[in-house]
Amino acid sequence: MTGAASSTRSGWLLSLPALVLLALGAAGPLLIVVVYSFLEPGEYSGVVWNFTTEPWFRVFLERDIFDGTVSLADAHLTIFWRSVKLSLLTTLITFAVGFPTAWFIATRPPSSRAIWLFLITIPFWTNLLIRTFAISEIIRNQGLLNTALLKFGLIETPIQILYTDTAVLIGMVYVYLPLMVLPLFAAIDRFDFKLVEAGYDLYASRWKVLRRIVLPIVRPGIVAGSILVFVPSLGAYVTPRILGGGKNMMVGNFIELQFGQGRNWPLGAALSMLLLLIVLAALLAYVRVTSSERPQ
Amino acid sequence: MRGRRFDITALPGFSAIAIGVFVVLYAPIVTIVVYSFNASNSVAVWGGFSFRWYEIAWENTQVQDATIRSLVVAVSAALISTTLATMAALGTTRRGRFKGQTFIYVMINQPLMVPEIVTAVALLIFFATIKVATGYQGLGYLILAHSAFCIPFAYLPIRARLEGMDLTLEIAAADLYATPWQTFRRVTLPLMAPGVAAGAMLAFVISLDDVIITEFVKSAGQDTLPTYMLGQLRRAVTPEVNAISTALLVLTVMLLTAFFLLTRRRD
Amino acid sequence: MSPSAIEIVDAAKVYGYGASAARALGGVSLGIRTGEFFTLLGPSGCGKTTLLRLIAGFEMPTEGTIHIGGKDMTAVPPNKRPVNTVFQSYALFPHLTARENIAFGLQMLGRPRDEVASEVEKMIALVKLEEMADRRPGQLSGGQQQRVALARALAPAPQVLLLDEPLSALDLKLRKEMQLELKRLQTETGITFVFVTHDQEEALTMSDRIGVMSGGRLLQVGAPREIYNRPVDRFVADFIGETNFIPAEARGDLVRVAGVDLSLPGAGNGPVTLAARPEQVRIGSNGPLPATLTRTVYFGTDTHCHMTLSDGTEIVARLQSPPSGDIGLRDGQGVRIDFAPGALQILEGA
């Protein structure tokens, strides 16, 4: 019988239309970006078809226009560093508040659990733009937060939060929190609470039970949540654009700038590829962590 | 503390943090909804209840155009991506592992892995070339791009549904004299329908919400509702944005509720 | 009509290729008679389900042929075979009502609408599901689902009905009920039943003939009495009921067990293994074989007496418990064992 061969053929045939569309509308164009990152920028936009490694060079280094000396591209590095720093902080904070939240949902009685879960999912599916806009409304100088603080006499003049790194951080935590809670919930939900009973039976304190039993077992969920938050944070565009104003750029905005006012498509292409490489490295690390943990 | 049960699931402070999270999660959204009914011109000062901003948004031709464009793109993308995702799900589940299966998985899930801004610039470059070469400036680019990144969202619930389906059902149909087509038509298709509907709904919501890729791919004057709002946010914000946001929010919640009811109904 | 409903010749099934190949079935030949209740019995992994799937057409044999109703069906797909299956998990279509499930096969065969309707009503009456006919599988109990599965498979009036451990999901009481029900249905419809189970009691009570399988081979085919009383080897003897295995030395018409000669006509010569069912071991004061009682276990209707012979061989006797519940024997007591006439069997290949 040729069961295996016909299964391969029909599997591919049925998947083919989706693959073609993805190749045209998602994966394929990425290859063009790779090519563009090795070309010279055109005068107004686009590229001149001359091979050069200059865009990649310029990601990290800059050459003085007058004397040709080479130094580190501080502006670029600052933006990259801010992106990584804010993304890591976002991941940490979403975990710190997301874990108790996921725990809370998972330990509700089955009847109300679905409702709590639904409540976490609604913001998740709500337009990112709307949510970012909503946060900006809260932290504006005349926003709800400052108004309340002024009213209670805690501050005398409004605190400037909007258009700072803090605003971007608050916004990203707010926007990406459900991405942390959902995989954590999935892991805790599968967790066998008999193990907690066994832990208490063997004289463990609540803290010990959490640290020695719960956290190690739900680790795949923690890793998944961290990746799900870290990756989009690193490539964030809408949130820093609305909350960070013009100065507090992240990589995503900087890339956009190269295709807009900056008119340096090859540099933008090189930056995009660098961002993609960092994300793929994070994903690869995730795959290795989770696959090595899976018991065979 | 006599008579109080030792609750093994309780951890100190966890419930308080969780409740706090829910409050913080909803407060901004509720604020937006409330202020969309604000009569005053300012987004900060409450000037009484009114539908004024909904009327203004409703009569704004730019909003009308953007809404229609958003719906056309989202409906097309949902239809295309769901059809292709259904075929792919049928091809990749409920059969032995086959050569290239991992490649297919990676390709289908690729839009979930690559940062959206990277895909956006890639499409900008790609479509810019095609636009110059063909002169075509229509909605086709948006529909193509949206269909592509909606595929994984449509694929996942369909695949989950198919994997949860008892393989012996199709064997039983064959045993009862059904031809392969009759088996598909009478057994497989009706059973996978809730997954397909759920996938289509997710694809629709994802397409409707997209900002970044749309912003980079659209030709001049092709604003969708989210890119129109992004443009508005750059200028002075009027409560009109609140009204549009609220309308979108209601639509999303309605679709999500339908999605949950569909996927939760167990046979 | 052909006397053979199914004729299987040298059927073998190998899964996978090369080094990873696994032989699920190794050259089985078997004839199943028209109208009989035939049971394939064996432990899990013995190949009985594979054999059933070959008959149904869900798998193609690697070697050998399968004839159904005198026609070669070896390579015919399942939807063109005159057999129907009752699946272990029932495989009822969850989106269809009981009635629609039962009608499915007839509709696929393209029968006229009114014929389908009347056949389905007949089937519903046959399995006594009148009240439940418009419910979906999810709203039916396990026993009711079982009946729907049976009716669905019987509705197209197949030449052969295949049943893949259909009772294993039911609790004991319901299982007993369904055993009788199945037997009744088989008698009423006159359809050939091929039944797969690992439950020896089920096999013994329901079947006209049993085929015992192990390791992908058919070890013995015969009527229940034959299988139980004349097992061909140690595996069959052990798998069906409980058995004492007694090492012995055969000499002509005698066998020597623990230094005592017992009469067994035609025993032959050389070392042999004897088999004796516990209920055919008798304990008395004048039996030929001395033994020591080590332990008695009370089972309600029966009491099991574990004994040791002088050479260390352990023997179990099953005695009917007396009304008092006490058989009047104490652990450590010396007893004498006797065997009912014909109880001792010489096993081949043991």
Q: For the residues of C156-222, what is the DSSP string, one character each?
A: T--SEEEEESTTTTS-HHHHHHHHHHHHHHHHHH--EEEEEES-HHHHHHH-SEEEEEETTEEEEEE
> From the DSSP assignment, how many helices (H) and strands (E) are in chain B?
12, 0
pLDDT at A3 over 60: no
The pLDDT of residue A292: 65
* pLDDT tens figures, A280-290: 988 888 788 77
The pLDDT of residue A263: 81
Please tell me the distance from the alpha carbon of residue B23 to that of residue B31, in angstroms, as a whole number: 12
Name every chain A residue with its beta carbon within 8 A of the beta carbon of B122.
Answer: 29-30, 32-33, 272
Q: Which residue has the tokens 């020695």?
A: A212
* Element of type H or E holding C309: strand C302-309
CB atoms within 10 A of CB B250: 11
Name every chain B residue with its beta carbon within 8 A of the beta carbon of A14.
Answer: 87-88, 90-92
Lowest mean pLDDT among B50-54, B116-120, C133-137, C314-318: B50-54
Please tell me the distance from the alpha carbon of residue B95 to that of residue A15, in angstroms, as a whole number: 14
Q: What residues contact A136, with CB distance under 8 A and at least 6 apart? A: A143, A162, A167, A171, A242, A243, B233
DSSP, collapsed to helix, strand or coil, labels residue B158 as: helix
Instruction: Output b/e per residue, B186-224; b: 16+ Cβ within 10 A.
Output: bbbeebbebbbbbbbbbbbbbbbbbbbbbbbbbeeebbb
CATH number at residue B64: 1.10.3720.10
Q: For the residues of A1-33, what is the DSSP string, one character each?
A: --HHHHHHHHHHHHHHHHHHHHIIIIIHHHHHH
Please tell me the distance from the alpha carbon of residue C293 to that of residue B263, in angstroms, as a whole number: 64
Lowest mean pLDDT among A173-177, B133-137, B213-217: B133-137
Q: Can you give the pTM of this predicted structure?
A: 0.79
Fold of C4-238: Rossmann fold (3.40.50)
Range of the domain at B187: 60-263
Gap between the terminal Cα atoms of chain C = 41
The verdict on B130 touching A (C-beta cutoff 8 Å) is no
The verdict on A277 touching B (C-beta cutoff 8 Å) is no
The pLDDT of residue C1: 44
The pLDDT of residue B72: 96
Find how far residue C141's CA is from the centre of its chain: 26
Q: How far is CA A268 from CA A61, A124, A166, A249, A279, in A?
A: 15, 30, 26, 14, 17
Residue A33 lies in a domain: no
Tell which residue, A206, A224, A229, A236, has the closest CA to residue A294. A224
The pLDDT of residue A228: 87
Q: Which residue has the tokens 């039943």?
A: C193
Nearest residue on chain B to C149, alpha-carbon basis: B172
The verdict on C159 touching B (C-beta cutoff 8 Å) is no
| The two structure tokens encoding residue A132 | 């970012």
More confident residue, B23 or C17: B23
Domain ranges of chain C: 4-238, 242-347
Of B9, B107, B233, the CB nearest to A22: B107
Q: How far is CA C331 from CA C245, C297, C334, in A?
A: 22, 11, 9
Please tell me the distance from the alpha carbon of residue C1 to that of residue C28, in angstroms, as a whole number: 24
The pLDDT of residue B267: 40
Residue C131 DSSP code: G
The pairing of beta strand A47-51 with beta strand C281-284: unpaired
Shortest distance between the Cα of A69 and any Cα of chain B, in A, equals 31
- Asked if the Cβ–Cβ distance from C104 to B190 is below 8 Å, we say no
Tell which residue, C303, C321, B44, has the closest CA to residue A137. B44
The pLDDT of residue B56: 87
Please, what is the Cα angle at A221 between A220 and A227, to 5 degrees? 90
Please tell me the distance from the alpha carbon of residue A225 to that of residue A180, in angstroms, as a whole number: 4
Shortest distance between the Cα of A254 and any Cα of chain B, in A, equals 10
Residue A130 lies in a domain: yes
pLDDT at A11 over 50: yes
- At A230, the pLDDT band (50, 70, 90 cuts) reads very high
- Asked if the Cβ–Cβ distance from B121 to A268 is below 8 Å, we say yes
Tell which residue, C184, C188, C223, has the closest CA to residue C33. C223
Q: Please identify every stretch of chain C with a pLDDT value under 50, giving residue numbers as ranges.
A: 1-2, 350
Name every chain B residue with its beta carbon within 8 A of the beta carbon of C153.
Answer: 175-176
Q: Any idea of the CA torsion for C309, C314, C316, C317, to the nearest 10 degrees?
A: -10
Q: What residues contact A67, with CB distance under 8 A and at least 6 apart? A: none
Tell which residue, A217, A248, A219, has the closest CA to residue A95. A219
Range of the domain at A175: 75-250
Name every chain A residue with its beta carbon within 8 A of the beta carbon of B256.
Answer: 118, 121-122, 125
Of C83, C91, C136, the CB nearest to B171: C91
Instruction: Output b/e per residue, A225-247; b: 16+ Cβ within 10 A.
Output: bbbbbbbbbbbbbbbbbbbbeee
Count the domains in chain A.
1
Cβ atoms B248, C119 nearer than 8 A: no
* pLDDT tens figures, A255-284: 998 888 878 889 999 999 999 998 898 888
Dihedrals φ, ψ of A55, to 5°?
A: -60, -45
CA atoms within 13 A on the CB side of C216: 13
pLDDT at B51 over 90: no
The verdict on A108 touching B (C-beta cutoff 8 Å) is no
Beta bridge partners of A62: A71
The pLDDT of residue A114: 87
* pLDDT tens figures, B208-235: 989 999 999 998 889 999 999 988 887 7
CATH number at residue A211: 1.10.3720.10
Residue A242 lies in a domain: yes
Residue A277 lies in a domain: no
Residue C168, burial from CB neighbour count under 10 angstroms (0-12, 13-18, 19+): middle
Instruction: Output b/e per residue, B129-168; b: 16+ Cβ within 10 A.
Output: eeeeeeeeeebebbbbbbbbbbbbbbbbbbbbbbeebbeb
The pLDDT of residue A174: 95
Residue B232 lies in a domain: yes
Q: For the residues of C93-108, what is the DSSP string, one character each?
A: -TTS-HHHHHHHHHHH
Cβ atoms B147, B80 nearer than 8 A: yes
- How are strands ordered across the β-sheet holding C314-320? C281-284, C334-339, C289-298, C302-309, C314-320
Name every chain B residue with its beta carbon within 8 A of the beta carbon of C93.
Answer: 169, 172-173, 187, 191
Please tell me the distance from the alpha carbon of residue A21 to that of residue A41, in angstroms, as a whole number: 29
Q: Give all chains having 3 or more CB-to-CB distances under 8 Å with chain B.
A: A, C
- At B43, the pLDDT band (50, 70, 90 cuts) reads low
Tell which residue, C67, C39, C35, has the closest CA to residue C191. C35
Dihedrals φ, ψ of B170, to 5°?
A: -70, -35
The pLDDT of residue A249: 86
The verdict on B266 touching A (C-beta cutoff 8 Å) is no
Name every chain B residue with its beta carbon within 8 A of the beta carbon of C109.
Answer: 177
- Report the pLDDT averaged over residues A144-161: 84
The pLDDT of residue C330: 86
The pLDDT of residue B8: 65
pLDDT at A20 over 90: yes
The pLDDT of residue B1: 41
Tell whether ipTM is more than 0.90.
no
Residue C70 DSSP code: T
The pLDDT of residue A296: 37
The pLDDT of residue C153: 93
Tell which residue, B29, B241, B66, has the closest CA to residue A125. B29
The pLDDT of residue C286: 82
Of B171, B176, B190, the CB nearest to C105: B176
- At A78, the pLDDT band (50, 70, 90 cuts) reads confident
- Report the pLDDT averaged over residues B185-209: 91
